[in-house]
Chains A and B, each alone.
Chain A
Amino acid sequence: MFRFLVALILVSSLAWADSSLAKTRVGIHIAKDRWLTLTDGTRVTQGREISYLLANQLFNFSEFEAVLLDNDEPVHLDLKVTPHIETLLYASGSRSNRLVYGFAPDRVNIFNSGIEGSLENEFVASGEEASQCIKPDFFEGRFNTHGWGPLSSNFGANFDEGFVINIAGYGIGFKQKKFEIKNQIRFAIEDMRSGKKQDLIFDIKAYGKDTFIAGSYSGFALGLEIQRRETLIEALKKILPIAVDGIIREGLIPLNHKGIVEKVKNFSEEIEIKMPKTQRAAVQANALGSCLEKSGNWLEDSIEGIFSFYAYWRYKKILDQPLKSKISALPLNVSNIKVAIIDSGIDYNDKKIGKNVIRFSGDQVLGFDFISWDSRPSDDNGHGTATAKYFLKTIKTDYAIIPIKVIGPFGDTHSSAIYDGFSYAVNQKVDAIVVPWAPALKLTEAYKRGAQLAAQNGIAVFVAPKSMEPGENIFVATVNGQTAFKTKGLGKMHLELPADGVAVVDEFNLWLQNTRGNNK
């Protein structure tokens, strides 16, 4: 009996002395950094801080013991947590003016994955352009519209932001930019005691709006980029503690008490980002201070301001529309040759063009918009519609157009959108791809890789003169006396397909006649 009591006291004191016996030891891997690159070339990164903050937070919970797995040393663990950044998307604006950047599990490619070894967005402003507030033109004028002021084909595309009044060359206006940030962090948890695994997936959506003062157009465009970065950074600063707190309270604590019962658990949260007035003022000062003196055409800007109601009408009625029911589009099972036009979208609600697109379902056309990331590849620039009209004029074989939009209303794009455009065409098993434009020579990596991907899949790809080397299934057009094709569309605006675009369509037409003949 005495022996029993002595042993009892000994073990009891040991259990009290080493309270760590009662704690669950949680190992946390360092999250790998992932980033998205904005059009001013700056990266917005998320990664290792999650692990440090999680370890620090866990330290304050008496039931856990945190171990930061920052090297290969062997560690005895009860639970192991590996954070993975799976989604980092930034979307700003709405309808025609919506622009989506970043990666998600269902939208990741070599140009947007934001990991070591991935390729970067090529369509970013150079340091000089950024510092001098020069809006970069990646296409050497090909996507410049041909009307003037309110007569330009993209007029009204950014009406969601408000307007700028320009007096004597100094533009000032009050604009509102709405933004959304989607961030998904997957915490892969392994219970080393039971061998079971669980994924805790946190979806956090941050949204907000910023009213700010803008300078003239050129300055305003870059001012937005500053705004994007600042709001993104602000959102991620706020998202991080929420994710870290969430994984502990919603994940680790219940899991520690009840064990792993579900393989996957999802949590979602929405937060509104409100920038403090002082911070917003600082951002505005930055945008204004750098760009105010960079006035565009003040007369044009002023007239555009006067025509604001017309801009609103175009924004609501002409640009970024779904496929109207009165359009007699082709059925999904049509046997016509399928040709993807990778461009700024097309106006499929034009009665003549609409006869050559495929109605996917209801008001949806078969095609995709990789700028706004939606299923309305409608044109709000004019280049793509001019291409479709040139098709109507010259191609006499039955065909079906699959519009793929990779260029925004103001000639804005990113490498990921271009590459995704080609991938989409490959997945749709099209017969041919027409790309009646090319970026400046040094910006063609996504263009080339996309074209090669399609060619390797047996699709005939028609690209702009001098954009890349010809190869099997890659047809590089040459300008043989062609001139620009001028037409009207998008609300009777002047549209133009430059000569190199005309040459691409001609090349495609020639191929079509050689392979399919003229069946009309």
Chain B
Amino acid sequence: MIKQQTLNVLGAISLLALLTACGERMSFKENIKTIQAAPGAPGSPPPSTEELYVDSTPQCVVDLPHFQISGNVNSFEFQSSFGINFGYTPGGNYSGTSGSVSMKVSKAQMDLVMIGKDPLTRALATSSNVNSNQTKTDLGLTIDFSQFQGNPNYYLSTPLAKVSQKGLELALKDFKKQSDQQLWVGRILKNINKEELMVNHGSQAGLMKGDQFEIYNVDHFWEAEPCTSAYVGSKRTTSAPVAIVEVDQLSQSSSVTKYVFKGKENIRRGAEVIVKKLQPNGNQARYLKKKITLGKISAKPFQLPGNILFDMESVINSQLITTIHGSGTYYFEIK
């Protein structure tokens, strides 16, 4: 990894020396020939006024979540006290037709992959695999499966729900560990006036009045038309922040900030907002919640005792919402 980065830097040095000698600003357009400049994208003529410049920033980068969560339940298995298996595994469904409708369940387990996608590159930003060994739970309780008929949510009141809850909690815990290593990034929603900027996070994310943020303009690169073609990557226009702002007013989902420092570059719509300093909150350490979009956790339907078809997918997705709410780590919207 270090070798690769060193090579990158060395490659960049040679390229840069060439470009600097020609007195030109380095542009990705010249590095990646397949990239075509679209209006507002690097390489296109610079906008003449501040308003136009901000508006020309592609809409799709303005209010982005940190991740889009989705996943797959690879297996969900439970066993009766007589040793009969129910549910499914990557190898397929157990038959589940035998066994009485009211049955003692001795143990259950689940294998779950939960992923967080970068909303622009679609690449995995986080990925957790909670396996059966981690979720294996001894239950020893009787469940009346006839109650599932026409009411899949009955699942949530059974001890089986503990197993999927455990799986989701473990996945989220791992998820948090991974996402903590990534920067909290906000976006500029709007240039309100010459003194104020609107940021796409507010009290829901845990922002407080007086919090300070650095602002960076970012060039985004697409393979063709911005927002509709494949996203290639991004580059900050400067290594130093183009502005530093401080939260002045808060609503649930956005905040109004005032300039503490303003450089020469105009702030673009969609510019990155990075934490500089958070106001102290007594002795408690403060962190900001990341915004996520909830996709779908896929799960296969399977036969319960008594030949009842159980649609696990709808239930596990509603359980995911409650689990994320309960974790207090993220705030989200459902797509």
| Residues B73-101 near A (CB distance < 8 A) | 74-75, 79, 82-85, 89-95, 97-98
A16 CA / B239 CA spacing, docked (Å) = 12
- Contact flags (1/0) for B110-137 with A, using CB distance below 8 Å? 0001010100011110111100000000
Q: Count CB-based A-B contacts (< 8 Å).
A: 181
Can you report 10 residue pairs joining A to B where beta carbons are below 8 Å apart? A8-B16, A11-B26, A14-B12, A16-B9, A22-B1, A56-B127, A67-B124, A68-B122, A75-B122, A289-B83
Max chain A C-beta neighbours (<10 A), residue from B5, B90, B113:
B90
A464 within 8 A of B: no
Q: Known: A12-B9, A16-B5. Contact between A74 and B127, CB under 8 A?
A: no
A127 CA / B303 CA spacing, docked (Å) = 12
A106 within 8 A of B: no
Stretch from B227-235, B263-271, B276-284 at the A interface = B227-235
The one of B79, B91, B238 in contact with A44, judged by C-beta atoms closer than 8 angstroms, is: B91
Residues of chain A whose beta carbon lies under 8 Å from any beta carbon of chain B: 3-4, 7-22, 25, 35, 40-46, 48-49, 52-53, 55-56, 58-60, 62-63, 65-68, 70, 73-77, 127, 130-131, 226, 229-230, 232-237, 240, 281-283, 285-286, 289-290
- Contact flags (1/0) for B3-30 with A, using CB distance below 8 Å? 0110111001101110110000010000
A157 CB → nearest B CB, Å: 26
A62 CA / B1 CA spacing, docked (Å) = 7
A64 CB → nearest B CB, Å: 9
B204 within 8 A of A: no
B183 CB → nearest A CB, Å: 10
Chain B residue at smallest Cβ distance from A234: B91
B223 within 8 A of A: yes
Are B91 and A236 closer than 8 Å at their CB atoms?
A: yes
Which residues from chain B contact A237 at a C-beta distance below 8 Å? 75, 89-91
Are A240 and B8 closer than 8 Å at their CB atoms?
A: no
Q: Known: A22-B5, A74-B228, A240-B90. Contact between A15 and B97, CB under 8 A?
A: no
B275 CB → nearest A CB, Å: 16
A126 CB → nearest B CB, Å: 10
Are A229 and B92 closer than 8 Å at their CB atoms?
A: yes
Which residues from chain A contact B85 at a C-beta distance below 8 Å? 230, 282, 286
B298 within 8 A of A: yes
B307 within 8 A of A: yes
Are B223 and A76 closer than 8 Å at their CB atoms?
A: yes
Chain A residue at smallest Cβ distance from B298: A48
A301 CA / B85 CA spacing, docked (Å) = 30
Task: Please give 13 more A-B residue pairs, beta carbons under 8 A apart, in addition to A7-B16, A235-B91.
Answer: A13-B239, A14-B235, A14-B236, A14-B239, A52-B74, A53-B74, A56-B115, A56-B129, A65-B121, A66-B123, A233-B92, A236-B89, A289-B82
